[in-house]
Structures are given as C-alpha cells and as structure tokens.
C-alpha cells in the first residue's frame, strides 16, 4: 500500500485503544463523507454537512445500531488534510471501536498507514514537512521542556533557523550568477563574497548538526544505571532520587536481585533510571543472573552512577569496572556514617580515564574531565549530596550537546540531521574550491550551489515527497 494512493478513503483510530469515555476514529478521502453517511441513521443530513459542522447520529450496521456518535465533517480544501474528512467521536472501549472500524472497511475504507493523514496534509500543501515532524515530536514529548521545544518548532522556529542558512546560500548563488553575466571582471571580489556567504552557511549548518545531540536527548532520553557492589546503597539512592520507596532496601547483601526501573525528568531530559543487583561473585544461580544483567545494563548505559560504600572504600575491581563504562559518575555513599572513610580526592589521572573511555567506546571526549574524575559524596540515608549528584548527572548528559546552544531550536529528527550533513559536506568542498582553486570556474560553482539548494529543498520538504515518506511518515502513529 502506498501513501501516494491519495484518492483512497482511509480510516484509523486516532486515540489510544482501550477503555475510555470517548474514542475518535478519523476518516479522510474524496468520498469519505458520502460513504460514511450511508451507514448512519441521518445520511442526507451528513451528506449536506458543511465543513467544520458537527452532527449527532447513529452508526448502523443494517438495522442494528452500533453506537451513538458525534461526527465532525471537513470539506476540501479547507480541511486538516486538504481533502474531505470526518472525525467520528464514538464511545471508547475496544468492541465499539473494532465494530465501527470493521464496518468502515466493509464500506470501502482502507486502514490508514502510519502518519497517512499527515502525509496528505503535506501533499496538499496544508502543512510543511517540518511542521509534520514537529507534530510528531509534540506527541512523543516526555517532559515539559521537550514539549515546549516541539511547540516552538510547530510555530516555525526551526524553519526560521533553516531560512537564515538558505538566505546565505541564495546570496552566494546570486553573486555567482552576476559573475556569470559579467565574465572575467572583478572575479576576485565575487570569490570573496561567495566565500563569505557560503562559509557562513557552512558554519550555520555545522551548528545545526551539533544541535542534534541535544534535540535527540530531549526526545529520546537517556538510560542511567545505578551500579556497584552489594550493600553500597544503590537502592537507597534510587528511592531517594525518586522520592518514593520503590526498591527494597536492607542490610543483607544481594537484596536487589533483578533490575528495577523508573522514569524521571532531569532538567527536561527523559531519563530511565535503573537500580540493579549488586555486583559480587556468587554461587546462587538467580543472583548470578541478576549480576549478569547489571553488567549488560551498565555497559550499554548512557551514564553509570557507580556507587561505592564509603565505609568500605573503593577496591581495584571497582576501579576496573568503572573504566569499562562509557560515562561514569563515581558516588561515595554513606558519608553520614561514623565509619565513613574520607572521600578520595582524585582517584585516577584524567588522561587515563579519558583514554579508556574514548578508546574503548569511541565516544567524544568530554572537555571537562571533572565529569569523570571527582567523587560525588552522598548519604542516601539523609539526602546529602543528592543535589550535587543530579547537577553532575545533568552536566554529563548534556556535555556532548552544547554545540547548538546558541540556536533557538535544535534539530531532532535523523532525517534533518542526515540531510544537513549532506549540505555541510557539499559546502565544505565548495568553500575549499573557492579558497584554494588556482582557476575559478563560475559555471561549475553555479551548478554546485544549485545542487546544494536542491538538497536544502529536500530538508524543508519542498521536493521529493516520495523519498521522504519512509523516513518521516512511517514512524508516525497510525491515525495521525
């Protein structure tokens, strides 16, 4: 089935399935109102509905009433999709919704593909692809800050950033075009102007690409794992951070046997915080499986909070483990205890940590080595050090995503990111030619800029709607 079958009448549940007061079934397509009218008790009234008019009627399967619903009709072209459309507000619950959907199918509707309504809106020029992506981002936002960022994009924030880039590309193209008309004269000056404009575009592009790390972090979130030996206080810290008694805490070593997780908002970043089974060698098969899971989780985590019992100290095997993790925050717990040992100052040489984290994981090295090195002193029992730990965690999570900080909006879809990378690469090659070529061929430069502008058109969805289908709309929800 193709998105380009835009003359099909389509339908889908637009709300979450399950028990609820209401459900909305969305329909769109040239003949959807007429087709639907024939399965109601008020066919003529529905057929004569004007756009944005609501009607109360029954959905009927022959003589049988399936439900009493409110229908909201939309008339092309002044409709969300640009086509005729109808939203059926029926009662919620699984059976009613299933029966209405199956009735619609029997009357010539096809089940919509993911994002197909949105595709039609883009196809018919009702919204652009950037807005469609912003809507998807809004739906998926997990924190207030991510939601606010999505609204900004919905209102054209990201497009404004792209337009600045575009304006410089156009200025570069214009200078080149003028030179083509005037031949050899003042070629040096034109090269200067072109270089200035295209280099600015290149820098903007780099900045936008840099903002993707932040955008993705806000959107997709991060996994943070509490790991360490048994009895270190991981579960106590987990409960302290969540402000609830989620994990069982006891003085018995090996209390947590399997991992426990919870969702958390850390400065707008949706975080999956995971408490794990304490690390120790054990004969107990179940506990050993828990330890194996801890190791897997810690090694794949975005950040590990490695908790050490401050009354016992840090052993070489703790050090050995911490080096394995991509990004690790060292937590010296139980500082409130009378048996607490002094917090070690610098546990490891900076270069050593950076080398290990960079070489083995291929991660970008953090500029501020403090993120790795210094211990954070905590007392899960009293809450001491919690604030500092959270601050450090936020700093570590965002350390790689500060490059786009000056932009009002960050790039958050992989599609935009990949297209921007192509623009950046092409601009880099062209700028090098402008700077170092012994002879300048403006006709060739002009073709190069046109190619870059064509990729830009793809970025903002002005070309290749077929090509962007898979990457954009197939990831949307059905019914959107």
Ligand X SMILES: Nc1nc2c(ncn2[C@@H]2O[C@H](COP(=O)(O)OP(=O)(O)OP(=O)(O)O)[C@@H](O)[C@H]2O)c(=O)[nH]1
What residues line the site for ligand X (CB under 6 A)? 230-236, 249-251, 253-256, 278, 333-334, 336-337, 379-381
The helix or strand, by DSSP H or E, that contains position 252, with its residue range, turns out to be none
Supply the minimum distance, in Å, between the C-beta of residue 329 and Mg ion.
Answer: 18
Window 71-90: residues binding Mg ion (CB under 5 A) = none
What are the strands, taking DSSP E only, across 98-213? 110-111
235 near Mg ion, rule: CB under 5 A: yes
For ligand X, the closer CB: 109 or 332: 332
Q: Which of 74, 72, 78 is nearest to 57 (CA)?
A: 72
- State the Cα–Cα distance between residues 323 and 405, nearest whole angstrom: 30
Supply the minimum distance, in Å, between the C-beta of residue 101 and ligand X.
Answer: 47
Cβ proximity of 375 and 347 under 8 Å: yes
**Nearest residue to the partner ligand X, using Cβ:** 278
Please give the size of the binding site for Mg ion, defined by CB under 5 A: 3
Q: Which of 143, 190, 231, 256 binds Mg ion (CB under 5 A)?
A: 256
| Site stretch for Mg ion (CB under 5 A), options 68-76, 136-144, 227-235, 469-477 | 227-235
Instruction: Choose among ligand X, Mg ion, none what residue 312 binds, the Cβ cut-off being 5 to 8 Å by kind.
Output: none
Q: How many residues does the chain have?
A: 480
Look-up of token digits 């507000």: 89
In angstroms, how far is the first alpha carbon of the chain from the final one? Answer: 17
For Mg ion, the closer CB: 261 or 400: 261
Instruction: Choose among Mg ion, ligand X, none what residue 253 binds, the Cβ cut-off being 5 to 8 Å by kind.
Output: ligand X
For residues 297 to 336, the per-residue mask of contacts with Mg ion, x marking binding by CB under 5 A and - elsewhere, is ----------------------------------------
Supply the minimum distance, in Å, between the C-beta of residue 353 and ligand X.
Answer: 23
Q: What is the DSSP letter of 400?
A: G
231 near Mg ion, rule: CB under 5 A: no
For ligand X, the closer CB: 304 or 380: 380
- Angle at which helices 386-398 and 212-220 cross, to 10°: 130
Contacts of the segment 473-476: beta carbons below 8 A, 24+ positions apart:
473/3, 473/113, 473/114, 473/115, 473/116, 473/118, 473/119, 473/132, 474/113, 474/114, 474/115, 475/114, 475/115, 475/136, 476/114, 476/115, 476/118, 476/132, 476/136
239 near Mg ion, rule: CB under 5 A: no
Instruction: Choose among ligand X, Mg ion, none what residue 336 binds, the Cβ cut-off being 5 to 8 Å by kind.
Output: ligand X
Supply the minimum distance, in Å, between the C-beta of residue 330 and ligand X.
Answer: 15
For ligand X, the closer CB: 157 or 233: 233
- 345 three-class SS: coil
For Mg ion, the closer CB: 200 or 235: 235
Q: CB 425: neighbour CB atoms within 10 A?
A: 14
Q: What is the DSSP string of 405-457?
A: TTSSS----HHHHHHHHHHHHHHHHHHHHHHH-SS--HHHHHHHHHHHHHHHH
| Site stretch for Mg ion (CB under 5 A), options 53-61, 233-241, 284-292, 400-408 | 233-241
- State the Cα–Cα distance between residues 478 and 480, nearest whole angstrom: 6
For ligand X, the closer CB: 388 or 462: 388
Instruction: Choose among ligand X, Mg ion, none what residue 236 binds, the Cβ cut-off being 5 to 8 Å by kind.
Output: ligand X
Contact set with Mg ion (CB under 5 A) = 235, 255-256
């Amino acid at each position: 089935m193709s998105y380009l079958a835009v003359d099909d009448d389509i339908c889908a549940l637009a709300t979450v399935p399950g028990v609820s007061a209401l459900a909305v079934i969305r329909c769109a397509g040239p003949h959807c109102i007429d087709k639907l009218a024939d399965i109601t008790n008020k066919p003529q009234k529905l057929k004569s509905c004007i756009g944005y008019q609501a009607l109360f009627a029954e959905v009927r399967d022959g003589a049988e009433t399936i439900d009493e619903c409110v229908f909201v009709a939309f008339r092309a072209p002044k409709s969300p999709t640009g086509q005729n459309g109808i939203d059926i507000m029926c009662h919620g619950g699984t059976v009613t919704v299933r029966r209405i959907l199956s009735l619609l199918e029997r009357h010539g509707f096809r089940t919509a593909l993911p994002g197909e309504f949105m595709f039609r809106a883009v196809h018919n020029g009702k919204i652009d692809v950037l807005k469609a992506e912003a809507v998807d981002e809004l739906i998926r936002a997990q924190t207030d800050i991510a939601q606010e960022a999505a609204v900004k994009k919905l209102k054209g924030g990201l497009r404004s950033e792209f337009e600045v880039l575009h304006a410089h590309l156009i200025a570069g193209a214009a200078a080149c075009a003028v030179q083509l008309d005037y031949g050899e004269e003042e070629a040096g000056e034109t090269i200067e102007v072109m270089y200035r404009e295209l280099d600015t575009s290149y820098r903007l592009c780099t900045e936008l690409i840099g903002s993707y790390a932040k955008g993705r972090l806000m959107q997709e979130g991060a996994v943070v794992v509490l790991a360490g030996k048994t009895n270190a206080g991981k579960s106590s810290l987990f409960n302290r951070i969540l402000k609830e008694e989620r994990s069982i805490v006891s003085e018995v070593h090996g209390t947590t046997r399997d991992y426990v997780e919870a969702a958390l908002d850390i400065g707008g970043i949706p975080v999956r915080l995971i408490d794990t089974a304490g690390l120790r060698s054990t004969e107990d098969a179940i506990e050993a499986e828990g330890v194996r899971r801890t190791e897997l989780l810690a090694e794949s985590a975005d950040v590990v909070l490695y908790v050490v019992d401050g009354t016992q100290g840090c052993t070489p095997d703790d050090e050995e483990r911490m080096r394995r993790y991509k990004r690790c925050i060292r937590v010296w717990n139980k500082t409130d205890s009378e048996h607490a040992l002094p917090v070690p100052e610098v546990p490891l040489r900076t270069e050593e940590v950076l080398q290990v984290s960079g070489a083995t994981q291929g991660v970008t090295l953090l500029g501020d080595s403090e993120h790795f090195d210094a211990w954070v002193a905590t007392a899960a029992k009293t809450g001491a050090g919690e604030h500092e730990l959270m601050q450090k965690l936020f700093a570590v999570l965002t350390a790689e995503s500060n490059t786009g900080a000056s932009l009002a909006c960050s790039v958050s879809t992989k599609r935009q990111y990949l297209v921007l990378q192509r623009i950046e690469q092409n601009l880099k090659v062209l700028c090098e030619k402008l700077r170092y070529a012994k002879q300048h061929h403006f006709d060739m430069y002009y073709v190069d800029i046109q190619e870059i502008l064509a990729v830009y058109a793809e970025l903002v969805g002005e070309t290749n709607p077929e090509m962007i289908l898979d990457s954009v709309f197939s990831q949307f929800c059905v019914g959107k």
